[in-house]
Amino acid sequence: MYKPQFLRTAARASIRPRAALLSQIRNQKITPQFSTCSFLRKESDRKDTDGQHGAATTAGEPGESGAHEGQFARTDNEVRVQYPEEENLPRSTPVQGRGGLHFKKTLASFSMEGKTAVVTGGARGLGLVMAQALAQSGADIALVDLKKDDAVSSAKDLQDQLRKENPDSEKIPKVTAHYADVADPASVDSCLAEIITEHGKIDNLVTSAGFTENFSAITYPPDRMNKLWGVNVNGTYLFAVGVAKHLMEREVPGSIVMIGSMSGAIVNVPQPQAPYNAAKAAVRHLAASLAVEWASNGIRVNCISPGYMLTALTKKILDDNPTLSKQWTSLIPVGKMGRPEDLMGAVTFLSSDASLYVTGADLRVDGGYTVT
Ligand SMILES: NC(=O)c1ccc[n+]([C@@H]2O[C@H](COP(=O)([O-])OP(=O)(O)OC[C@H]3O[C@@H](n4cnc5c(N)ncnc54)[C@H](O)[C@@H]3O)[C@@H](O)[C@H]2O)c1
């Protein structure tokens, strides 16, 4: 039997008047969206059987069960990170202690010997470490970056590291550095021509050039949004098409690995970044679409979707927003952010014959973030 409507209304009003409740919520930093949120259910929809939990259902008023409602599932428009000027991001160096001679048995199909791999965004960060993984597996490498000087230094560091780790080796993989703005078709074409001249061929591509920024969608400057999509989406597409054309002309198989992000599958919180999330979803589906289109040419296309990895950019974001580190790691089942090294196995697997029957896949390297 239902209580009369007015009794229910009076009871709820006596517990927490709506106006006071909403003003209390509005004063909390985590809930600025409540003030614009329309109510989900009419008061009359509430059933007695909901009991004390009714306030936590769609029958309740926004914020009625507490200011925590949606706390860990919402973006916060106050988090704003503009991609820093390049001079504010340090270049990185090859990681130590992951290569060199070892005597552990492993599958020969993981070897990249005899292959030439292009890595865009290879001057630093994830790109450089993934290039290192492929070089340690035997591939010659072309590092491509907007920052040619950094790419030149990284190519030298990488070769020095390979020499140090393999003192008795007769042949150290060749590592070259090249300029390209991946978003510019003419720049991509001339870069690929330069690489083919220097290496004679290309077998593999890893597209790591990309960046993220945080603005609420309402305030995102359109020119920055275009730039973000230009680099993350167009840049990935242009390089993939350029390398695929080359492979088709040679009539040989090849493997392309696109670096997406877990942001292409979930919406990160609390930092707002709708264009980046959409761009990375585009990268993931581009990999699947091109995998189908080029399967008959023996060209495999896969995506790696990293979670939070500690690189120069993420370090800067965390320096500027100290509370984010706790929020991020609290949402990762493994409880930790990844390091660039954690992508070494994934990129080698997808680039080599170890993954010969894998195409169109999205390999999440995110500590379990996207499965919760
Ligand atoms: N770091 C993370 O936590 C993380 C997580 C998921 C995905 N990703 C993705 O991984 C990729 C690499 O990220 P990172 O953290 O190593 O970034 P990073 O900034 O350290 O490295 C990116 C590199 O790309 C280069 N680059 C930028 N714009 C370019 C352009 N137009 N043409 C050529 N090169 C250009 C930069 O100069 C830089 O060397 C990006 O696509 C990023 O979105 C990163």
pLDDT in tens, the chain (372 residues): 334 443 344 434 443 444 443 344 344 444 444 444 555 556 566 666 777 788 988 888 999 999 999 888 999 998 888 888 877 788 888 887 666 667 788 999 999 999 999 999 999 999 999 999 999 999 999 999 999 999 999 999 999 999 998 888 888 999 999 999 999 999 999 999 999 999 999 999 999 999 999 999 999 999 999 999 999 999 999 999 999 999 999 999 999 999 999 999 999 999 999 999 999 999 999 999 999 999 999 999 999 999 999 998 888 888 888 889 999 999 999 999 999 999 999 999 999 999 999 999 999 999 999 999
Q: Are 127 and 306 in contact (CB under 8 A)?
A: no
Does one domain contain both 38 and 122?
no
C-alpha 208 – ligand 1 centre gap (Å) = 6
End-to-end, the C-alpha distance of the chain in Å comes to 39
C-alpha 148 – ligand 1 centre gap (Å) = 14
Does one domain contain both 21 and 93?
no
Atom of ligand 1 nearest to the CA of 122: 39
Atom of ligand 1 nearest to the CA of 230: 31
* Beta strands at 254-259 and 299-306: parallel, antiparallel or unpaired: parallel
Residue with CA nearest ligand 1 atom 36? 121
Does one domain contain both 124 and 234?
yes
Q: Are 204 and 122 in contact (CB under 8 A)?
A: no
Residue with CA nearest ligand 1 atom 38? 121
C-alpha 120 – ligand 1 centre gap (Å) = 9
Q: Is residue 352 part of a domain?
A: yes
Task: Please name which of 311, 224, 307, 202 lies closest in space to residue 260, comparing C-alpha atoms.
Answer: 307
Read off the tokens for 106. Answer: 């492993």
Does one domain contain both 151 and 43?
no
pTM for this predicted structure: 0.88
Residue with CA nearest ligand 1 atom 31? 181
Q: Is residue 367 part of a domain?
A: yes
The HSE-up count of residue 69 (CA atoms within 13 Å, CB side) is 21
CATH number for the domain that contains residue 140:
3.40.50.720
**DSSP bridge partners of 303:** 258, 362
Does one domain contain both 43 and 115?
no
What pLDDT score does 243 carry?
99
Q: Is residue 79 part of a domain?
A: no
Q: Is residue 78 part of a domain?
A: no
Does one domain contain both 236 and 210?
yes
Does one domain contain both 51 and 92?
no
**Residue tagged 């023996």 (tokens):** 298
Does one domain contain both 226 and 268?
yes
CA pair distance 297, 299, nearest whole angstrom: 5
Q: Are 75 and 270 in contact (CB under 8 A)?
A: yes
C-alpha 2 – ligand 1 centre gap (Å) = 59
C-alpha 212 – ligand 1 centre gap (Å) = 8
Residue with CA nearest ligand 1 atom 11? 208
What pLDDT score does 199 carry?
98
CA pair distance 241, 279, nearest whole angstrom: 18
What pLDDT score does 34 carry?
44
Q: Is residue 160 part of a domain?
A: yes
Does one domain contain both 181 and 249?
yes
Residue with CA nearest ligand 1 atom 30? 181
Atom of ligand 1 nearest to the CA of 123: 39
Does one domain contain both 151 and 32?
no
Mutate which of 145, 182, 239, 315 for ligand 1 pocket (most atoms within 8 A of beta carbon): 145
Q: Is residue 81 part of a domain?
A: no
Q: Is residue 145 part of a domain?
A: yes
Atom of ligand 1 nearest to the CA of 309: 3
- Give how far the C-alpha of residue 176 lies from the chain's centroid of Cα atoms, to the nearest Å: 25
Does one domain contain both 94 and 55?
no
Residues acting as catalytic residues: 261, 276, 280
Does one domain contain both 91 and 58?
no
> What residues flank ligand 1, with Cβ below 6 Å?
120-121, 123-127, 145-147, 180-183, 208-212, 231, 235, 259, 261, 306, 308-309, 311-314
Residue with CA nearest ligand 1 atom 41? 210
What pLDDT score does 15 carry?
39
Atom of ligand 1 nearest to the CA of 231: 31
CA pair distance 316, 310, nearest whole angstrom: 10
Q: Is residue 80 part of a domain?
A: no
C-alpha 259 – ligand 1 centre gap (Å) = 9
Q: Residue 154 sits in which domain range?
A: 86-98+106-371
- Residue 326: count of CB within 10 angstroms of its CB: 9
Structurally, how many domains does the chain consist of? 2
